Structure 1
Amino acid sequence: MRFSPTYLPFIPFIEVVVAMQYLAFVRPVILRLCLLGVFGASTFVCAGELVYETDIRPILKTHCFHCHGEDRDLSGGLDLRLRRMMVSGGDSGPAIVPGDSESSLLIDYVESGMMPPKEEEHLPPEDVTRIRQWIDQGAKIRDLEPEENPEPGEFLISSVERAHWAYQSIQRPDVPQSEYSNPIDAFVSRKLAEHQLEFSEIADKVTLIRRVTFDLTGLVPTPEEVANFVNDPAEDAYEQLLERLLASPHYGERWGRHWLDAAGYADSEGYNDKDILRNDAWHYRDYVINSFNADKPWDEMIVEQIAGDELVQATSANAVALANKDESAREKLIATGYLRMAPDGTGSSPMDANLAQNQTITETIKIVTSSLLATTVACAECHHHRFDPIPQDDFYRLRALFAPVYNTQKWLQPKSRQVAVLSAEDQQKAAEIEAEAKPISDAYNKRLMEVVDLIFERTMESVPEADQEVARTAYQTVKADRTPEQTALLEEKYPMLGLLSRNTVHLFLERYEDGPELKKSYEDLSKKANEIRATKPQPDYLRVAYEVAGQVPETFVFYRGDLNSPIGDPVTPGGLSLFKHGSKPTVQPTEADPAGESLSKLATSGRRLEYAKSLVNGSHPLVSRVLVNRFWHHHFGRGIVDTTGDFGTQGNPPSHPELLDWLASEFMNQGWSLKQFHRLVMTSRTYRQSSKQRPTAMAVDAENRYLWRMPVQRREAESIRDAILFVSGQLNLEMYGPPVPVSTNAGGVLTVGGGKISEDRRELKRTVYIQVRRTEPVAMLQAFDAPSMEPNCERRVVSTVATQSLALLNSDFVLQQAEAFAKRIGKELGENGSPSDQVTAVWNHAYSRTPSPAEMEAATAYLSSQAAHFENQKQKQPDELALASLCQILFSSNEFLYLD
């Protein structure tokens, strides 16, 4: 039976061991020969002359600048950021002598290990050799250096850093001349031709419907859907298939999950072991799913998520009213849940509340900048970025954007940020119930005050007649308006009168024989009114971000990230200074906006709204590139830039740079529509080609970087669970709503619903609706690399480990679904279904195809032997148990877990 993959290359273990032993021996020898000059200087390190900007500066920036240039306290008086400053040197003299590395102090220090002082930061030998070679060649520079030397601590961006591919404005390249009508194919085929490669053949129709159904919905096509597509003679049958899947509500569940990874979605607060549950986060998850299904333009979606509250001018003062009154405003408020996804331990009584607050803000910035900019900005919290041109000030400029939401001076804990809402229908119902309860409540208040008045008169009987009028006047005067004499009279002379009120009358009633009866006369009314009000619909609570009206705190740079060490003047809010739009958001009306939507007219600070608009105005070099690369990654299993969360200098360059820019430009031109992007990608030859290996192509491009075939991809954890439920016929397709709880089962393993199925079958809903707990992941999902949101997930790891096989073999969930699958097949075939009929049916459901003759022979033999085994064990229904065993094997097979 074909249960092992045919597409994975087989390398005998002994060959791997021999190769590793060979490299372990040969590599040091080669290195020593290179250092001795046996192969020539140009062979080792670099061909041609070295220059400071590209060859030396990155080394010094990583290892040395933090003490020698970028810190306000210049160590040894030496600044290494410019060649002439190295020549002039510091307290000990010149750092370099051009043309003479032997006389250069820099070489002495780095070669001896004296600098950097920490052993783990010492320069690798190859870097020392590179610096030595550069000095001996004359310490050349490529570009003119600035006329003035930078001040210590001042951030200096080099021309090379400014020229980094990701920081250039997006220019729409011309589509190459090609035989292919789809521009994607034109770009990819040109790259293939450069390497003497060509596309693979187009995949067969069964493979295609299986691929696109999984890709767009995360589910398996039904046998009926496969048959209809395979037998459809229409030329546009494939395009019709795509449109049907794009219109499916399950599309949003599948693709929304991708964005929830990047946004750091979780149903718990994280931060510490308490990991308090978030019962209000799911509205944001549903917003994302809805937005994907509606194909909401991404420029709108980004603005809503960063500044939805500012779009509707919501603050702490009016957010609840807006959310209950205006459905559109409610949606935009829910969108700001994106800014509330970071771990937030401030409600769990942390040991250091200030540290917890600071961490929440930092993690929020990480999520925003990694998901939208693919930039590791958080590295600049404590110091200038070691690798990318991001000064420390930039981190705090970004922080200032979010400071009005996360005000550390007047911090709001998670529950204090909630917005309670009722649907229009529930609001009407609540109003009707209140109308019924109010007359009873009014009667209660009237009767209660009658009893208070009665007790007052009885108490007055003990007051001398001469003081009664004065006492009565004092009692009837509002407490805040009483004179000192009246206060003294009630508190000192007649304290019983001073104590009597509607809140204390029950204590007085205990003194009277008719007290219980009087108490019952008003309490019965109160109880009845409360019983009626208890039937009111309960509100939902939204997890939103909004500003507290009138609070715009100042933001300071923290020295080395220490929140107790603010330095300098308040920073100006804004984005990355590397880009032109990183400057201070304008608050002045413009000619294009004379009516009053300018920031100066907003009830909020307007900071996030202006920043969000700058991200999607078409001029930002990163946002569109990052998004289309992320989308491409989810289609092909790897992005054009495979470091999807890092477009900086430490990330990998794009494999198809012109294609990336064309897609980024086209995405914006098409109204930031993701569904249009899907149509473009999925109708390309690049996407529709076979995944089969070709030895000649493998020899040229084993990693398939140039896309000569469709990559084979393993299903994600959620899709594996959903596919098992779908094939077994048990998947509950109900959408939206509160998360399905997770808990430990009898064996102590964390599972969905603790392994139990409730009457409404919510535990069988799609995995996107399963509770996501930061410190307690569901065991089976964790085995298949479900991400841990710390604070978010830029790209999932795809591992192959023993726990995956163990989960598929021993998990109660898998065993139960295998039994359900077997029962489904038995029900479909009836009593007359033969073993071969059963095998054909399970193959069609699980693999979307019929078994081969060899598979049929092996599977029917397996059914026979298993049935005999169960019969010998005196098991009931041995044939059904045998079929369930076969179903479990299919669930565990590579053909089920991987997609061609």
Structure 2
Amino acid sequence: MDEFLADDSAGAWEKVVDRLLASEHYGERWARHWLDLVRYADTNSFERDGKKPHSWRYRDYVIRSLNEDKPFDRFVLEQLAGDELPDKTSETMIATGYYRLGVWDDEPADRLLAKYDALDDIVATTGQVFLGLTVNCARCHDHKIDPIPQKDYYSLLSFFHNITPMAGGGPHIEQPLFNSDQARLSYAKSVADLEQRRNVAQANVTAIESDFSLQWKLENPDVDAAGNDLDDLRYRYYRDSWKSLPVFDELKPESQGELPGQLFDTSPTTRDTNYGFVYEGFLKVPEDGEYEFSLDSDDGSRLKIADQFILQHDGIHGEGSPKTSTMSLKSGRVPVRLEYFQALFGRGLSVSWKGPGFSRRSLSVTAGNGGEKKSRHDHKAIAEAIQKNGERILGKENFERYTKSVKNLESLKQEHVPVDMALVISEHGPQPPDTFVFYRGNPQSPRDKVEPAFPSILKAPLPDPIPASENAAEPSKSSGRRTQLARWLVSRENPLTARVTVNRLWQHHFGRGIVRSSNNFGMMGDPPTHPELLDWLASELVFQNWKLKPIHKLILMSKTYRASSEVNAEAFSKDPLNDRLWRFDMRRLSAEELRDSIHSASGVLNSKMFGPGIFSTISKEVLAGQSVPGSGWGDSSPEEQARRSIYIHVKRSLITPLLADFDFADTDSSCPVRFATTQPTQALGMINGAFTHNQATVFAARLRREADGDLRAQVRMALEVALSKKIDDPSVERGMRLIEELQAGKNINEHRAVELYCLMIFNLNEFSYLD
């Protein structure tokens, strides 16, 4: 402030503008607006509201992109199709976290409906953020207001149809980040080495357990033992992502071999997602008769007995809903084949049978996701039996070897190759599925097939053909459709994206856009107050190669931006809503600006940038109100808590109270505008809240330290620091009188009175409003 007031040159204001645009904190300030638009949060919502892994890297990507003034067309391309670019990098992969930011139900009642709800969220966000159109209103029928037919909705959805669904973790939503090809190769080698060591350790444990089971059966012939019903069992293990059971015989297995335990067993892999098995061997049928088989799996599976597929499980009605089938078998060895794949987390496979002379017996090691449904033939039961009888049956030496092998295996399961990870997008493969118009939006009622196309209202040409491969060095893992969409969005054939973007810049400088309904440029939206200005700014953005900082400067240098907020009675009578911009509207600080301004005034604002989210202090009473009380909230040091508010961990079901009081964004959907409400909790929180009281104490300590204990100097400094303006003597005198009255009326010392004076300053309109 002092530097600006001392500069009498004609370019004084321009110097300030250039300095602020060049500041590394510019990106933090403007990233918050973008994060509101793309519904950024660090958790998934719904009852568990679990964490989104590594989502903070997307937030940091946005900050870095804005600071380097990355062209907006490139910014769009990286977020919508960063994985499809021929020059893709770790940064462009992080950018695709855009698709993973929405709410996600980890346990939907209807998986198919949940899939299309997630796609609808992507369509809605993309349509509103980049086009200013509520395309999502045409999901179930033609748009009731805008000329957007239902067909256009599903044509737009088809660009995203091939996306793999969100999950709690796994390779199709998480990807390691590497700075070089050498680092990538080194990581792959370390992972392969660890997996090999795990597999060897598992094989050692399984072999001993198998030996124990066979000897246990000899001693206890009336007790079924693991591995007694299957023989010569072999496996083929595959790694990939599938939506349904593939034709395994056409794929190359990752590994294959014998299963010593003679049970359908997933132990040849230690992975939790994206793997598959084919098991082949023989079923030992004790006598002629009718046998009932049961099959249950978390994802797809299929059972073949005597060259006949008798059971298939879709994985949709998973775990706890087994399929059963009965067939006649002759005694002897009967061929058996089981196919199984696991897409999301778990090891959910259960196979059993029953027949003449015996009740149901398990044919699989793991019966249920996470091993919750236990059979007496699984590893846990065998391990317990070995602990009781192992030394007697196996001998002391083998028993000790088993104990060491188990410890070694458990240690290897806890071992991980360290690597930075990012939340990313992936597709099922280069061939996207067909897309259909759903009758009334019901995915169970597909009607006409549609192809990718842009909204017909914009009279856009059809997408360009997808090249066979833009990057011959790496085979395509996606359809390329999202690249088509992103390129069209920022092409000259589509004027909407530039208009929508500059309107948002104007909005966040003036408090409202030229089009006030900044996510809706349609018939129900507000018309532009200055349509020619909007078009001119849009053309300037394209002319400036889509760089945002020149547009910021253009706006900030204008007389309109630098106008006073004082009311002119004549102008007010003609234009009370200030549509003609005859004055600058007063604007209250956003929730984050208010919190950061308090930290800045108290002198403790931590300028550290980037990294995982921080956790503000929240009272135990508020924490107790979570759906899972006491979970999902961390503890950061006071220094970390004093970082800018953009770094606060955003938990959808638990917003920091001060931010919630002052209209923090609704992160469940795109939030284009934060409405400045006035409500009692704001005053109560600012006057009585632990945060403001603590910061008032810190502020007062700063004043004593920097003003050398001079009370008058403390009062002047407090007002100048907090209000960013020169303070006149009458204002200082009023402050002195208030402190004296506080001392006398509350019987407190000067230090405490100054603390209360600082608290009062935090509650001034001048502190929380720009004018």
Q: Return the TM-score normalized by structure 1.
A: 0.62
Name the residue aligned to 1:340.
100
Instruction: Call closer, same or farther: CA 1:840–1:451 in 2, change over 3 Å.
Output: same
1:553 to 430, 433, 440: 433
Q: Does residue 281 in structure 1 map to residue 55 in structure 2?
A: yes
Q: 1:730 Cα shift?
A: 2.5
Aligned: 1:421 with 2:176: yes
Matched AA of 1:798? A
Cα gap change, 1:863/1:617 in structure 2, threshold over 3 Å: closer, same or farther? same
Match of residue 311, structure 1, among 55, 65, 85: 85
Distance in 1 (alpha carbons) for counterparts of 2:492 and 2:656: 41
Q: Return the offset for 1:561.
A: 2.2
More deviation, 363-372/244-253 = 244-253
1:850 alignment partner, one of 726, 729, 751? 726
CA gap 1:400/1:450 in 2 versus in 1, 3 angstroms: closer
Q: Distance in 2 between matches of 1:754 and 1:446?
A: 37
Q: 8 Å contact 1:420–1:539 — kept in the other structure?
A: no
Query: Distance between the aligned counterparts of 2:98 and 2:6, measured in 1?
Result: 44
Cα distance change, pair 279–729 in 1 and its aligned pair in 2 (3 A):
farther
Q: In structure 2, what is the Cα distance between the partners aligned to 1:608 and 1:454?
A: 54
Whole-Å Cα distance in 1 between the matches of residues 480 and 24 of structure 2?
35
- The residue that corresponds to 1:707 in the other structure is 581
Contact kept, 8 Å, 2:41 with 2:652, in 1: the verdict is: yes
Distance 1:722 1:644 in 2: 26
Alignment of 1:848-887 (within 5 A): 848-870=724-746, 872=747, 878-887=749-758
Q: Tell me the secondary structure at the aligned position of residue 556 of structure 1.
A: strand
How many pairs were matched up? 623
Specify whether residues 879 and 450 from structure 1 end up closer, same or farther in structure 2 by C-alpha distance, changes over 3 A only: same
Q: Which amino acid in the other structure matches residue 673 of structure 2? A: R
Shift of 1:540: 4.6
- State the Cα distance separating 1:513 from its structure 2 match: 8.0
The 5 A counterparts of 1:225-264 are 226-264=1-39
Q: Which residue of 1 aligns with 2:449?
A: 570
Given that 2:285 and 2:334 are in contact with CA atoms closer than 8 Å, whether structure 1 keeps it comes out as: yes
SS at match of 1:401: coil
Report how far residue 454 of structure 1 moved: 10
Q: Match of 1:246, SS?
A: helix
The alpha-carbon deviation at position 392 of structure 1 amounts to: 1.3
1:791 matched residue in structure 2: 669
Distance 1:793 1:679, change over 3 A: same
Shift of 1:309: 1.8
1:498-577 map, 5 Å? 510-512=390-392, 515-521=395-401, 523-524=403-404, 527=407, 538-567=418-447, 569-577=448-456
736-745 or 690-699: bigger deviation: 736-745
Indicate whether 1:894 and 2:765 are aligned. yes
Whole-Å Cα distance in 2 between the matches of residues 441 and 403 of structure 1? 36
**Counterparts of 1:517 and 1:562 in 2: how far apart (Å)?**
63
Partner of 1:650: 524
CA distance in 2, matches of 1:456, 1:790: 53
Structure 1 residues 866 and 620: alpha-carbon distance in aligned structure 2, compared to 1, 3 A threshold: same
Tell me the distance in 1 between the aligned counterparts of 2:85 and 2:455. 23
Alpha-carbon shift at residue 822 of structure 1 (Å): 0.7
Percent identity for Structure 1 against Structure 2: 34
Match of 2:560 among 686, 690, 707: 686
- Among 595, 617, 626, which residue is 1:721 paired with? 595
Amino acid at match of 2:25: H
Deviation by residue 1:819-870 (Cα, 9 ceiling, x = unmatched): 111111112123xx22211111101210122332321121101111212344
Shift of 1:380: 1.3
CA distance in 2, matches of 1:686, 1:511: 88
Q: Structure 1 residues 486, 243: closer, same or farther in 2, change over 3 A?
A: same
**Other-structure match for 1:614:** 488
Which one has the bigger helix percentage?
1
After TM superposition, list the pairs within 5 Å mapping 1:198-597 onto structure 2. 226-270=1-45, 272-312=46-86, 328-345=88-105, 347=106, 349-405=107-163, 413-416=167-170, 417-421=172-176, 478=258, 510-512=390-392, 515-521=395-401, 523-524=403-404, 527=407, 538-567=418-447, 569-581=448-460, 583=462, 585-587=463-465, 596=470
Task: Output the amino acid matched with 2:147.
Answer: P
Structure 2: distance between partners of 1:474 and 1:858: 93
CA distance in 2, matches of 1:483, 1:793: 59
Which stretches in structure 2 are left out of the alignment for 5+ residues? 220-230, 235-256, 260-278, 287-331, 336-364, 366-376
Structure that is richer in strand per residue: 2
* RMSD of Structure 2 on Structure 1 (CA): 4.2
Task: Return the alpha-carbon distance in structure 1 between the equivalents of residues 75 and 558 of structure 2.
Answer: 27
Kindly provide the amino acid, as one letter, of the partner of residue 697 in structure 2.
E
SS at match of 1:415: coil
8 Å contact from structure 2 (residues 202, 409) kept in 1: no
C-alpha distance in 1 between matches for 2:505 and 2:141? 32
Alpha-carbon distance in 1 for matches of 2:404, 2:736 = 74
- For residue 510 of structure 1, give the secondary structure of its aligned residue in structure 2: helix
Deviations 1:782-802, CA, capped at 9 Å, x for gaps: 221112123110111112222
Post-superposition offset of 1:712: 1.6
Rate the CA distance shift 1:431–1:391 in 2: closer, same or farther, 3 A.
closer
State the 1:376 CA deviation: 1.3
Q: Is the 8 A contact 1:299 1:616 kept in 2?
A: yes
Give the 3 Å change call, closer, same or farther, for CA 891–482 of structure 1 in structure 2.
Answer: closer
In structure 2, how many angstroms separate the alpha carbons of the residues matched to 1:683 and 1:837? Answer: 35
Q: Which amino acid aligns with 1:342?
A: G
* Whole-angstrom CA distance in 1 between matches of 2:195 and 2:47: 46
Deviation at 1:536, TM superposition (A): 5.2
Q: Which moved more, 1:424-433 or 1:359-368?
A: 424-433
Q: 1:727 to 1:522 in 2, by over 3 A?
A: same
CA distance in 2, matches of 1:563, 1:574: 20
After the TM superposition, which residues 30-109 of structure 1 pair with which residues of structure 2 at under 5 Å, given as runs? none
Measure how far apart 1:512 and its partner are. Answer: 3.8
Contact 2:78 2:95 in 1 (8 A): yes
Indicate conservation of the 8 Å contact 2:616/2:636, yes or no.
Answer: no
Given that residues 592 and 659 in structure 2 are in contact (C-alpha distance below 8 angstroms), is that contact kept between their aligned partners in structure 1? Answer: yes
SS of residue in 1 equivalent to 2:422: strand
Deviations 1:341-396 (A, max 9, x none): 22222x1x223333322222212111111111111112211222222111111111
SS state of the match for residue 761, structure 1?
A: helix
Deviation at 1:687? 1.6
The residue type paired with residue 435 of structure 2 is T
CA distance in 1 between partners of 2:109 and 2:47 (Å)? 13
For residue 75 of structure 1, what is the aligned residue in structure 2? none
Secondary structure of 2:435's match? Answer: coil
Q: 1:473-502 CA distances to partner (integer Å, 9 max, x unpaired)?
A: 9899956897899997999xxxxxxx9999
SS of the residue 2:686 aligns to: helix
Q: How does 1:146-165 map to 2 (within 5 A)?
A: none
Distance 1:817 1:765 in 2: 14
Tell which deviates more after alignment, 787-796 or 609-618: 787-796
